[in-house]
Amino acid sequence: MRTNYRVNAGVRFEVFSRDQLEELFNGVLHVMDKIGLDVHHEEARNILADAGAHVEDKRVRIPTHLVKRALATAPRSFTIYARDGNPAHDIQIGPGRAHFGPGPTPPNFIDVETLERRPYVRDDARIVATVVDALPNIDFCESLGTISDVPTDLAAAYEFATMFPRTTKPIVAWSFGWDDSNDIHQIAITEAGGQEAFERRPNYIHYCEPLSPLVSTFEAVDKVIFAARHAVPVIFTTCALAGGTAPVTPAGIIIQTTAESFMGLVLSQIIRPGLPFFTGGVLSVMDMSAMILSYGAPELSLMMAGVTELAHYCGLPLWQTGGCTDSKCLDEQASLEGSLSVFFSALSGGDLCHDVGYTESGMTGSILQTVMMDDAIGYSRRITRGIEVTPDTLAVDVIRDVGPDGHYLYHDHTMQHFKTEFWYPNLCDRHNYEEWAAEGKQTMRARVIDRTREILATHNPSPVRPETAEAITAIMAAAENRVKNKP
């Protein structure tokens, strides 16, 4: 029997103390109650006013008790399910669990064959979903682009319709508004076996992006209302630029973006208490020379770690950011920025880390970057798993067995543990010079490209049910008609 014996099940990493978190949280409450946000959606303003918010024209101020009620009803732990019932592809949201996936909507894509940057097309969604499905350390799917070769209003619906049959990993969907949100939802619930079955086992998440500073746009709010009414787990987060659309200081941007998310939190919890909700976003700096939102800045990782701690302090899961870069191609910069942000994200335990595969400051999606980062995530996860301390792992008896001048290679203890204690990379090369030279002196870049093409040539994701395949065809045909007949 032991008393006061504490076990660390992973590696600890902290940015803030509890007192600092309380100050940040008070800052968020102050912004919501005293400053307020502009909500460009009349119905939403009415819902909020009925619940006790102060509404003056577009400005909505949320009293602290409403925020706290929303925090009390929003869950910290829940599961997003693989559409085919494969438990290995379920996502279990909860403390100490970091998940990774690509990001949405860059206009360009790095062609997997020519390796050139070009506009994103529909087939790229197939490529991304197939590769995501095969990668061991990627947990959810986003498209890494906006489809340019379909009617503009249908880019999101086509993207979902293309990806859904090619991966059983949960998709984080985006949309333009109510209609295409509904297209996406109909596909998902057909596979789930109806709305009721979907509510028991949600198989996708919806992403909504309001505006910094402090604006809840009509589209973002409309989509969060759609999600809440249809029981779709939802993300409501901004992409803020420190020094541009948010305070230049990390503490300031953390407060502002959390308040921006919390408007969606309060609204969603009024409509459907208990709806899974993700706060967070992309918090980074506006580079004052290049004038971009930097996806490779150390401040991104630091601010994201800070906002993660605040979310967890509030009892909410967080939409993290990492595995991204400002580099234009698969090079040393892409590797350095991507790997370090992946590692920080893993350390902070942010619940869904997106943008793994963003390059050129979010302007170009690259599945090659995602494939390279898959190894960085595996590496990071081995570290965050920590060091287990038990009589068996302490191995004092094993040390006695082997003694001075012996070796451990034959020992049962080595056999039992070497596969689980050691992580083995898929892409990082550990051969000696001769072997490496004999294999043609391949660089990391070449190995990443080869592996991506190999997955595309060989991987067959589990298919959707026949009725879902039919539903996708019918839903997209109806959507085409809707767009054609639009005034």
Options 15-23, 41-49, 357-365, 416-424: segment touching another protein (CB under 8 A): 416-424
Shortest distance in whole angstroms from residue 433 CB to another protein: 7
Shortest distance in whole angstroms from residue 230 CB to another protein: 46
- Give the HSE-up count for residue 471: Cα atoms under 13 Å, Cβ half-sphere: 23
Asked if 486 touches another protein (CB under 8 A), the answer is: no
- Check if the beta carbon of residue 213 is closer than 8 Å to that of residue 219: no
Taking the C-alpha atoms of residue 110 and residue 296, their distance in angstroms, rounded to an integer, is 18
DSSP structure class, residue 388: -
Task: Using the minimum distance from each CB to another protein, give the nearer residue, 20 or 414.
Answer: 414
- Check if the beta carbon of residue 158 is closer than 8 Å to that of residue 122: yes
Q: Of 145, 68, 155, nearest to 102 (Cα)?
A: 145
Options 203-211, 287-295, 312-320, 414-422: segment touching another protein (CB under 8 A): 414-422
Task: Using the minimum distance from each CB to another protein, give the nearer residue, 122 or 417.
Answer: 417
For 203, residues 6+ apart whose C-beta sits below 8 A from its C-beta are 80, 81, 82, 83, 170, 188, 191, 192
Shortest distance in whole angstroms from residue 404 CB to another protein: 11
Task: Using the minimum distance from each CB to another protein, give the nearer residue, 251 or 398.
Answer: 398
Instruction: Give me 364's structure tokens.
Output: 């170009």
The interface with another protein within residues 34-53 (CB under 8 A) comprises none
Task: Using the minimum distance from each CB to another protein, give the nearer residue, 178 or 418.
Answer: 418
Asked if 424 touches another protein (CB under 8 A), the answer is: yes
Options 165-173, 260-268, 280-288, 426-434: segment touching another protein (CB under 8 A): 426-434
Residue of the chain from 17, 331, 418, 470 that contacts another protein (CB under 8 A)? 418
Place of tokens 């969907």: 173
Task: Using the minimum distance from each CB to another protein, give the nearer residue, 217 or 414.
Answer: 414
Asked if 392 touches another protein (CB under 8 A), the answer is: no
Shortest distance in whole angstroms from residue 424 CB to another protein: 7
Taking the C-alpha atoms of residue 237 and residue 257, their distance in angstroms, rounded to an integer, is 7
**Helices 64-73, 250-271: crossing angle, 10 deg rounding:** 70
| Residues facing 353 on adjacent strands | 100, 320
Options 262-270, 367-375, 417-425, 478-486: segment touching another protein (CB under 8 A): 417-425
Shortest distance in whole angstroms from residue 447 CB to another protein: 14
Taking the C-alpha atoms of residue 238 and residue 251, their distance in angstroms, rounded to an integer, is 16
Task: For 67-212, list the strands marked E by DSSP.
Answer: 78-80, 91-93, 99-100, 108-110, 117-119, 171-173, 204-208
The interface with another protein within residues 394-413 (CB under 8 A) comprises 405, 407, 409-410
Shortest distance in whole angstroms from residue 420 CB to another protein: 12
For 390, residues 6+ apart whose C-beta sits below 8 A from its C-beta are none
Helix (H, G, I), strand (E, B) or coil at 271: helix
Size of the site for another protein (CB under 8 A): 13
Interface characters, 441-470, with another protein (x: CB under 8 A): ------------------------------
Task: For 277-430, list the strands marked E by DSSP.
Answer: 277-285, 318-321, 352-354, 358-359, 364-365
CA angle 62, 67, 73 (to 5 degrees): 145
Shortest distance in whole angstroms from residue 138 CB to another protein: 21
Options 12-20, 29-37, 418-426, 458-466: segment touching another protein (CB under 8 A): 418-426
Asked if 435 touches another protein (CB under 8 A), the answer is: yes
Asked if 433 touches another protein (CB under 8 A), the answer is: yes
Binding stretches for another protein (CB under 8 A): 405, 407, 409-410, 414-415, 418-419, 424, 432-435
